[in-house]
Amino acid sequence: MQPFYRLLLAALLGGLLAAGATVLLLEQRLGGAIGLLPDDAPRPKLVNLAPGAGQLRHYPEPVDLRSAARLATKTVVHITARADGDGRETVKALFGRQRRDADLSGGEGSGVIYTSNGYIVTNYHVVAGANQITVTTTDRRRYPASLIGEDPKSDLAVLKIEGDNFPYLPLADSDAVEPGAWVLAVGNPLGLTSTVTAGIISAKGRNLSLLPDLDAIESFLQTDAAVNPGNSGGPLVTAEGKLVGINTAIASQTGRFQGYSFAIPVNLVQRIADDIIEFGAYRRAYLGVEISTLTPADIRRMRLKNQTQGVLIDAIFAGGSAEAAGLQVGDLVVKVDDRQVNDLPEMTEIIGLAKVGDQLKVTVIRDNTPREIVVTMLPFQE
């Protein structure tokens, strides 16, 4: 055999021996099979290679809102409100910082089915002044609707359509909902039916001074779910598919969504809607006070100690619950029953939830001394 071929054969045999040794070594290290490890073999660690980082973290899956969206869209209705020949504010009235008259004698908005027998909750400003109201459900059935009652001071109204077994949402506890909780806004914005947007609760107890009456109830839930004209009266829904609010307004310089929208909390909605359904009107209890949020100037003037939040009684009106119970001008309300009172919106919501005849245990600071005063809520007198 030629020397060249002998060298070539030796090289080939050497290569085969080296390959065999490598395979044996891998089998010993990997347990004898590619991709499999014996039970007692050490497992590799997941390591984040970023400087200063530890092991990789396993994050929870994103919140799945599909089930809540399916439930909510079935309960949303489209509302068309018309006034015969008379100009009135349309549903765009609260979508901007300024109220304005409209050229059209009617408008469109949203509502949510409140009970299976056809009661519907919406905003007062959606139907204000209308004498022809038509409701269209998500399955495109059209119903003439009657106005059962309205409360301009909370911007709520209740409609009724004839029928049974309508889908409706269970109610959440809006007092218990916290900032950061996922919510859906559902409605008919800008003519787009059954639109769902998502966001979180951004804040609670917002007072925007949108409603003109001095005794208006404003304690909105703030959310960053996109809301636009046409969403008015539609539901704000939790990730579990429960009704937590009625979408009412946005803070905007353009009349379109800019990141801030507001909803009436459902606890207040339930209180007012149930009264309207039962009595035809909201039977409002009357505290009979003029109040304001405590300010740093008030703290200095009153020489308050360790007290930075609350509602100050500035005036007491004759015939009200406050006068009868012995509350005084200058009292600082810090608690009602078991609920802390931090500011004006919270106080107006608490009183708005109270019923005639309820007895509220009001804690006030008077002369730097806490006092508990039982207030029996009297009916509101026009």
Q: What is the DSSP string of 47-106?
A: B--STT--BPP-PPPPP--HHHHHHHHHHEEEEEEE-SS-----TTTTBSSS----SSSE
Per-residue pLDDT tens digits for 107-119: 789 999 999 999 9
Mean pLDDT, the chain, rounded, equals 82
pLDDT (0 to 100) of residue 14: 60
Considering the four listed CATH numbers 3.40.50.1820, 3.30.1240.10, 2.40.10.120, 1.10.10.60, the one that applies to the domain covering 62-280 is 2.40.10.120
Of 85-94, 168-177, 259-268, 281-290, minimum mean pLDDT range:
85-94
Q: How confident is the model at residue 63 (pLDDT cuts 50, 70, 90)?
A: confident
The token duo for 344 is 């004006």
Could you tell me how many residues make up the chain?
Answer: 382
For the chain, domain boundaries: 1-39, 62-280, 285-379
Claim: this prediction has a pTM higher than 0.85:
no
Q: Which of 110, 125, 154, 261 is catalytic?
A: 125
Q: Which residues of 96-135 are buried (b: 16+ CB within 10 A; e: fewer)?
A: beeeeeeeebbbbbbbbbbeeebbbbbbbbbbbebeebbb
The token duo for 213 is 């009456």
175 assigned to active site: no
Per-residue pLDDT tens digits for 100-155: 333 233 578 999 999 999 999 999 999 999 999 999 999 999 999 999 999 999 99
CA dist., res. 16 & res. 70, Å (int):
65
Q: Quick one: average pLDDT of 39-50? A: 46
Q: How confident is the model at residue 11 (pLDDT cuts 50, 70, 90)?
A: low
- Asked whether the predicted pLDDT for residue 43 surpasses 50, the reply is no
H/E element holding 24?
helix 3-30
Q: How confident is the model at residue 4 (pLDDT cuts 50, 70, 90)?
A: low
CA dist., res. 230 & res. 109, Å (int):
4
Indicate the burial class of 262 (C-beta count within 10 angstroms; 0-12, 13-18, 19 or more).
Answer: buried
pLDDT (0 to 100) of residue 8: 53
Q: For the chain, give percent helix, strand, coil, nearest 5.
A: 20, 30, 45
The token duo for 158 is 């209740």
CA dist., res. 229 & res. 190, Å (int):
6
Question: How many angstroms separate the Cα of 74 from the Cα of each of 140, 283, 293?
Answer: 11, 31, 41
Q: Which of 110, 154, 202, 232 is catalytic?
A: 232
pLDDT (0 to 100) of residue 85: 58
Q: Quick one: average pLDDT of 58-84? A: 88
Q: How confident is the model at residue 15 (pLDDT cuts 50, 70, 90)?
A: low
Question: How many angstroms separate the Cα of 150 from the Cα of each of 12, 267, 276?
Answer: 96, 17, 7
pLDDT (0 to 100) of residue 62: 76
Considering the four listed CATH numbers 3.30.365.10, 3.40.640.10, 2.30.42.10, 3.30.70.3270, the one that applies to the domain covering 285-379 is 2.30.42.10
Rg (the chain; Cα; Å)? 32
Indicate the burial class of 230 (C-beta count within 10 angstroms; 0-12, 13-18, 19 or more).
Answer: buried
Backbone angle region of 205, left / alpha / beta, with phi > 0 → left and psi within -120 to 50 → alpha: left
Residues 6+ apart with CB under 8 A from 174: 221, 244, 245, 265, 266, 267, 268
Q: Which of 151, 155, 275, 331 is catalytic?
A: 155
CB 77 within 8 A of CB 111: yes
